[in-house]
A and B are shown apart, each in its own frame.
Chain A
Amino acid sequence: MDKIILEIRDKAQELLETGQVEVVIGFTAGTLPGKSTPCFITRGEDCELLVWDEGCKNNLANYLVKEKRKAAIIVKGCDSRSLVNLLTENQLSRDRVVILGAPCPLTEGCEGCQIKSPVIYDYLVSGKAGKTGEDDFHDVKTFARLSPQERKEYFYKEVSKCIRCYACRNACPACYCRECFVENNLPQWVGKSTQLADNLIFHLTRALHVAGRCVDCGACQRACPMGVDLRILNRKMLLEVKELYQFEAGLKEEQELPLNTYDPGDPEPFLAGGGEA
């Protein structure tokens, strides 16, 4: 048996049995092979159900936001970056959570992932994470080279598949608003049907809401039952935030989010005529 999972189970069991936490949030085997599923464990003896394998793709940070109990959470690189965000945004108090970091179990990893080991933890399970790719944003750059008409057609076609189930939003650790703008009715910003206009406005707005906070974990896209390509929008914002403000989300605590602040000398690439009167 893999040393990493044994270490995770031991630590989780110890945390529960010594009363340091009331619940452990981790993964257990799913009903389909290769699809591990999030689980909430409250008894030490159940810790043997925990797994740490290729199927542990979801971003568990999402579950912490609503968790009222004192919890331990098992994180890989991306989940830990979401935790950093949640801490920065005061959605989580550091003393209420025990972070059990472990190297990312995905051997292939997600395309472009740079940080497979946790950036924040109380205990770090030793072991080597699979290799990281290089993120040159070739997907975004290739897309940007298409003609505006082609880009629009692609985006409209993707978004027309959306059935507005909000699984993408619900799976996203950066989307924790008690009332999402899509649910507002005074004013009602977007209609609730799947009219293309409303779908487009929903997806553009969500991309802007998570800009500077999205950690490219892919949870939104994996959650989508219609296979909508949401990633291209999020990654465009990732690249833009990086280039304009030299910022990458969730890397260290105590960093100001790019849209919560400004620099007097910020670039103004959006100004009409380049800013000439």
Chain B
Amino acid sequence: MKEPKIVAFLCNWCSYAGADLAGVSRLQYPPNVRIVRVPCSGRVDPLFILTALKHADGVLTAGCHPGDCHYTSGNLVARRKFALLKSLLDFVGVEKERVQFDWISAAEGNRFAARIKDVTEDVKGLEPWERWGGRQNG
């Protein structure tokens, strides 16, 4: 398959800092990812993810570990939305590897690099994504 395109929504305070650490630590991870920095995982509207899937083959959303949110509970509120979105997508036959979530702290550069690798490889192993039946390319 063509190289898959992955979109990652990363919260500013933990996961984006984790990605940054992966960068400054010169950890290797696939170049397939396009990062979108958001203020908090609580900012990630399901529409972001559904819309990203119009243009990309996989989506990773990551935020601070529960208990570590800069805004105390943004990620806890997000957690319920994510749980429902994920089960709904699964229900309508979207492969579970295509939309993934994780908590990645600012100290977890390794975890960030590993997760990007997993998502990219998982998505490569799937049938090509028809992007909601749309015709977008690239």
Contact = CB atoms under 8 A, between A and B. Distances in A.
B88 A236 contact: yes
- The range of chain B's interface size is 35 or more
A110 interface: no
B92 A151 contact: yes
* Prevailing SS type, chain A contact patch: helix
A94 interface: no
Interface stretch (A79-87, A127-135, A142-150, A166-174): A142-150
Nearest to B77: A262
B93 A189 contact: no
A137 to B, nearest CB: 12
Interface residues of A, number: 48
Interface in B88-121: 88-95, 100-103, 108, 111, 114-115, 118-119
Contacts of B28: none
Contacts of B67: 264
A271 B76 contact: no
Contacts of A150: 93
Interface in A233-260: 233, 236-237, 240-241, 244-245, 258-259
B80 A266 contact: yes
A5 interface: no
Contacts of A266: 76, 79-80, 83
A148 B84 contact: no
A208 B88 contact: yes
Nearest to B119: A272
Interface of B: 46-47, 50-51, 54, 60, 66-67, 73, 76-77, 79-95, 100-103, 108, 111, 114-115, 118-119, 131-134
A199 B49 CA distance: 15
A195 B73 CA distance: 37
A59 to B, nearest CB: 23
A273 to B, nearest CB: 7
A252 B137 CA distance: 49
Contacts of B114: 277
A201 B54 CA distance: 9
B57 to A, nearest CB: 14
Contact of B93 (A151, A195, A196, A268): A151
Contacts of A190: 51
B80 A258 contact: yes
